[in-house]
Amino acid sequence: MPLPPLICPACRAPLDPAGARVACSSCGRGYTSEGHWDFAPDLVFTDIETPCHVEEQGERLRAERFYLPLLRELADQAEKPVTELRVLDDGCGFGAGVEYLRSQGIDAIGVDVGWRSQEWQQRDPPWPYLRADGRALPFADGSFDAVVSFGVIEHVGIAGESGVSEEVAPDYQEHRGRYVSEALRILRSPGVVVLSQPNGSCPVDFWHYAGRVPARWHSPRQPFLPRYRELARWAKEADSAVDVESVSPHRLLAFERIPALELAPGESPSKDLGDERQHRGGAQVEGDRGQLGAFERVGRGRDR
C-alpha cells in the first residue's frame, strides 16, 4: 500500500509529490526525499547515539505482544479485518515495531526526527518511514485507524529538542498538547491513540537513568514526565468528545534481558555498553516493571 495522502505540515495544504521533491502550492515550502521524505528539515532531535539492539528488540516485542492484540480489538469494533488497519508509530525510533506490524499485514507507517532513523534503510520494507514532527504531521485528517507512541511525549517540549535533558521549555504544555492533538486529528473513527511514557506521578523512572543506576528518582512535581491528568487534559482540549482511559501495561514492557548488565558504580548503561554486550545471549523475558514505572493512556476517536 502506498503512503496515505500527504499534506504540508506547515499550512496543511494537500501535497502531490512526484519524484524526490515537492513544493507546497499554498505556502511555497519545499520538501525532499532521499530514500525517505523529510517533512521536518529544520528539526533534529538530539540524543545519545548507541547501537542499542535491546531497544530495537523492545520495539518489536511491544508491537507483537501489546499493539497487535489491541489492534485486533479495534478491528473487531470497526468490523473489518486487522489487515485493513492503517497505523502510525509516532516517534517510531528504529522502526522495528512498524516492521513487525507490516509482517502481520497491517499498513504501518513510522515517523521520527532523530538519529535512529539511520536504521530505516535496513528495515523490510525500508520505505514506510518519514522524517516528521509529531507536532505537525504531514498526513490528512482521519488517515489512520490507530496511532501508537512509546517513550516520546516526555521528550516533546524539552528545551533544545534534546533526549538527554529533562528541562522543559516554558511552553512545554503547548508542545505536548499539539503532539496529542495531531495524533487525534489524523485519526478516523473508530480509532485509538495509545500513548505510553513513564508516569510522572511515580517518583521512580527506570527509563531515563543515564548515570543514575539503577533508576532515576524525581519529585512527582517535576514536569518532565507527564501525568495521567495532563494527558487527559491535552486530549480533551483537542477534542472534547474523545474517551480517555488508563489501560493495563500488561505485556507492554516486554524486553530482552541483558545478562551482562551488571554495572560498576557510576557506569552508565546508555553510554558505556558496547553493541557486543547488548546483543548477545539475551533470554527473552517479559517485564512487569510497569507496576512502578510506566502506564499508558488510550484516547478513542469520536465519530466524524
Ligand X SMILES: C[S@@+](CC[C@H](N)C(=O)[O-])C[C@H]1O[C@@H](n2cnc3c(N)ncnc32)[C@H](O)[C@@H]1O
Least distance between ligand X and beta carbon 18 (Å): 26
Q: Does 182 bind ligand X (CB under 6 A)?
A: no
Least distance between ligand X and beta carbon 269 (Å): 14
Phi/psi for 288 (5° steps) reads -120, 30
Q: Convert residues 24-63 into a mask of x (bound to ligand X by CB under 6 A) and - (unbound).
A: ---------------------x---------x--xx----
Least distance between ligand X and beta carbon 111 (Å): 6
Q: Convert residues 148-167 into a mask of x (bound to ligand X by CB under 6 A) and - (unbound).
A: --xxx--xx-----------
Cα–Cα dist 88/49, whole Å: 24
Pick 52 or 186: Cβ nearer Zn ion: 186
Q: What does 86 interact with, of ligand X, Zn ion, none (CB < 5 to 8 A by kind)?
A: none
Cis peptide before 214 (omega within 30 of 0): yes
Q: Does 135 bind ligand X (CB under 6 A)?
A: yes
Which of 36, 60, 102, 116 binds ligand X (CB under 6 A)? It is 116
Region near Zn ion per CB under 5 A, out of 11-19, 116-124, 141-149, 237-245: 11-19
Angle, alpha carbons 172-175-179 (nearest 5°): 140
Q: Does 24 bind Zn ion (CB under 5 A)?
A: yes
Paired with 299 in beta bridges are 193, 244
Angle, alpha carbons 19-22-25 (nearest 5°): 140
Region near ligand X per CB under 6 A, out of 24-32, 111-119, 181-189, 209-217: 111-119
Q: Does 23 bind Zn ion (CB under 5 A)?
A: no
Which of 93, 198, 226, 293 binds ligand X (CB under 6 A)? It is 93
β-pair type (254-256, 284-286): antiparallel
Q: Does 100 bind ligand X (CB under 6 A)?
A: no
C-alpha closest to that of 33 among 127, 147, 156, 159: 127
Place of cell 512498524: 98
- Alpha-carbon separation of residue 213 from 210, 222, 265 (angstroms): 7, 19, 8
Q: Does 27 bind Zn ion (CB under 5 A)?
A: yes
Region near Zn ion per CB under 5 A, out of 20-28, 72-80, 158-166, 273-281: 20-28
Q: Does 11 bind Zn ion (CB under 5 A)?
A: yes
The grid coordinates listed for 140 are 490528512
- 234 Cα distance to chain centroid: 17
Cα–Cα dist 112/97, whole Å: 13
Cα–Cα dist 31/157, whole Å: 24
Binding site for ligand X (CB under 6 A): 45, 55, 58-59, 91-93, 111-114, 116, 133-135, 150-152, 155-156
